[in-house]
Amino acid sequence: MASVDCQESAATEAEIRSFFESAPPLKNSAEVGRNLDEFIARNSSPCGDGRANRVVCVTSGGTTVPLEQRCVRYIDNFSSGHRGASSTEYFLKSGYAVIFLYRRGTCQPFCQSIPDDPFLECFEFVDKSQAKVQEQHAIAVMRAINDHRAAVENGLLLKLPFTTIFEYLQMLQMIALSMNKLGPYGMFYLAAAVSDFFVPWQSMAEHKIQSGSGPLDMRLVQVPKMLAVLRKEWAPLAYCISFKLETDKKILLEKADMALAKYKMHVVVANELLTRKEEVVVVTHNEKISVFRDKSRNDSDVEDPLIQLLAGKHGTYLASLPKMK
């Protein structure tokens, strides 16, 4: 049995190394690294009461899987980024600094109450050279701009965009290695919908795949699971929350329990595709807590009670650790 386990973990390590070695390098990795270092340094200095600040990395939106190196086509998924954007607002309210690792073009924090296409829907012309925000959108737009600006300018919100699975995993690794300096004050809240299968860069067509030669035959391989390595090597003391999404209610909690044990997560948040905005279940080793949106209010969301619960659990985790000097 032991030798099987060893072989399995060796294979995974090799797969992870090969994934990173063969991925196209991040175009802006020096800039991302600089921004991360500054952000972590600023938020790891003690607060007034001598405690280090809490920092959470919120991942949000879906990763794409390119089918060609000069990408024309890609595989995508359903994720809108609502969960990550809304959770970011509540984490900021709860006193966390947030690294928001998000898919380009998906929902953004503080923008929930403004129309999807604010540029076209919120403005009206005063004359030929001036436009202003329409009155019915003014309060929401002003609040979004002010809250967003305050969070970024006060060094509490760092936004890092990704598109592909290659960018996402490279950036997650960079963030985790930086956040390792925060020890248990760091938290990962992994709400992004990450592709399970991908086309390895070296076996990907360089140019646009041509049609006209019959069905497309393509081999997708499994994306190496990075959660275990995040927990074990990249940021072993950080508090880790992952999400489990299913469409079949019957297997959801069982799969969440499996993820909790397999990847040694502190919490797995289980949700069903159709009801994900109404209810989630917070799964830990000894409890399963259903969390609901407050249905008596139209503007409520499930992330409000969810983040309160998770911030409390993170606090309990911190209190359970031997005091650090």
Interface residues with ligand PAZ (CB under 6 A) are 79-83, 191, 193-194, 243-245, 271, 276
CB nearer ligand PAZ, residue 191 or residue 235: 191
At 82, which amino acid appears? H
What minimum distance in Å lies between the beta carbon of 94 and ligand PAZ? Answer: 19
CB nearer ligand PAZ, residue 114 or residue 252: 252
What minimum distance in Å lies between the beta carbon of 227 and ligand PAZ? Answer: 11
What minimum distance in Å lies between the beta carbon of 193 and ligand PAZ? Answer: 4
Residue 296: alpha-carbon gap to chain centroid: 29
Separation CA 18–CA 22 (nearest Å): 6
Phi, then psi, of 105 in degrees rounded to 5: 85, -5
CB nearer ligand PAZ, residue 193 or residue 282: 193
What minimum distance in Å lies between the beta carbon of 213 and ligand PAZ? Answer: 34
At 202, which amino acid appears? Q
CB nearer ligand PAZ, residue 192 or residue 199: 192
CB nearer ligand PAZ, residue 147 or residue 272: 272
The two beta strands, 197-198 and 186-190, are unpaired
What minimum distance in Å lies between the beta carbon of 134 and ligand PAZ? Answer: 27
Q: 3-state SS string over 86-133?
A: HHHHHHHHCCCEEEEEEECCCCCCCCCCCCCCHHHHCEEEEECCEEEE
Q: Which residues contact 25 (CB under 8 A, 6 or more apart)?
A: 170
